[in-house]
Amino acid sequence: MSAPAWEMLDDIPSNSPIWKQWQKLVNDENWTSDCSATTGLTPTLSTTRSVWAVDKKDSSYIGCVVWNEYDSIALIGFYLLTPAYRKLGIGSKLWKRAIERIPKDYTIALRSVPVMIPRYSSQTTPVRGPTLHYCTVKASEAVELCNKLLPADFESGYSTKKLEELSHEEWEEFLKFDRKITGKDRREWLTAYRSHEHKFAIVVFSKNDHSIVCYASTVMTSHLHQHRYKIAPIYAIDDSLGVFSLRILANWIGSQYPDATIYCHLMEGTRGFEFLKPKLEQITSVTISGTSLFSKPYNNPLDLSKVYFPNNSSGHYDI
């Protein structure tokens, strides 16, 4: 098949119908890391950059490279062509244009599936970072596991609030908590995420001094009718709070859709990988999802000891 007559576009408007075509194709690919928040909010973020191939005849979507620039990082979240137009040379032209546009002093980052690591490593991103693993569980399985790990009265020392219910003062304290763990100012992302329709997010407070001790969220991923939820993230000051918040999320998911599938992504080097992965392996299989690759060495400011599940998304990169 020869390539159609097409044109290249930079940074299309957030209300362009091309974004909807892109979102559907991402969901068709079953990339469970790329949740509804990522695909829904990426078009509106000030950090988003993009290059598109569209059909000259009807301006329909052919392919794209989409990335986000912040904190001297250019995180390439999407390099995706429609199946009919792959291996026609269009993707390489889009990639070349994207790399030309990224500031030269930025660190380029992406996450590669295992089969593509040699290709990306030989070109733009030769430095290998941590590998992401994932598993799936049902809500009831997650709750049962958490119950085995927690004392029955554990929650008596803590209170929770939904992210959207925080007062102004609590919101500002939450942003400080997030920044302390991630090492990044994520106000824009978190403000947008706060009102995202397909998420459930909580902040856990100590009853002793009302300090924030945990942030946990789950969000729908893939096509909504598939009832898939990604845990993203859980940041907590200790193991018990990580498990406690996971139980809250799993209970909520089960109340929405008893048949729902929960996706748990675990990144090498984090406390969640060390503490939770062995426990999850007792009830399910854990599989490699992808490996982080960088254009040059990257010193991540993330406090790995507080990360149980990463945010794991291009619009709000943590690891």
Q: How many domains does the chain have?
A: 2
Asked if residue 54 and residue 201 are part of one domain, the reply reads: no
Asked if residue 140 and residue 75 are part of one domain, the reply reads: no
- CATH number of the domain that 219 lies in? 3.40.630.30
Asked if residue 218 and residue 168 are part of one domain, the reply reads: yes
Report the predicted TM-score, pTM, of the whole model to 2 decimal places: 0.95
Asked if residue 147 and residue 65 are part of one domain, the reply reads: no
- Whether residue 258 lies inside any domain: the answer is yes
Asked if residue 95 and residue 215 are part of one domain, the reply reads: no
Q: Which domain holds residue 262?
A: 132-291+300-313
- Whether residue 257 lies inside any domain: the answer is yes
3-state secondary structure string, the chain?
A: CCCCCEEEEECCCCCCHHHHHHHHHHHHCCCCCCEHHHHHHHHHCCCEEEEEEEECCCCCEEEEEEEEEECCEEEEEEEEECHHHCCCCHHHHHHHHHHHHCCCCCEEEEEECHHHHHHHHHCCCCEEEEEEEEEEEEHHHHHHHHHHHCCCCHHHHEEEEEHHHCCHHHHHHHHHHHHHHHCCCCHHHHHHHHCCCCEEEEEEEECCCCCEEEEEEEEEECCHHHCEEEEEEEEECCHHHHHHHHHHHHHHHHHHCCCCEEEEEEECCCHHHHHHHHHHCCCCCCEEEEEEEECCCCCCCCCHHHEEECCCCHHHCCC
Q: pLDDT tens digits for the chain (319 residues)?
A: 567 799 999 999 999 999 999 999 999 998 878 888 899 999 999 999 999 999 999 999 999 999 999 999 999 999 999 999 999 999 999 999 999 999 999 999 999 999 999 999 998 999 999 999 999 999 999 999 999 999 878 888 999 999 999 999 999 999 999 999 999 999 999 999 999 999 999 999 999 999 999 999 999 999 999 999 999 999 999 999 999 999 999 999 999 999 999 999 999 999 999 999 999 999 999 999 999 999 999 999 999 999 999 998 877 677 7
- Whether residue 235 lies inside any domain: the answer is yes
Structure confidence by residue, pLDDT tens digits, 91-133: 999 999 999 999 999 999 999 999 999 999 998 999 999 999 9
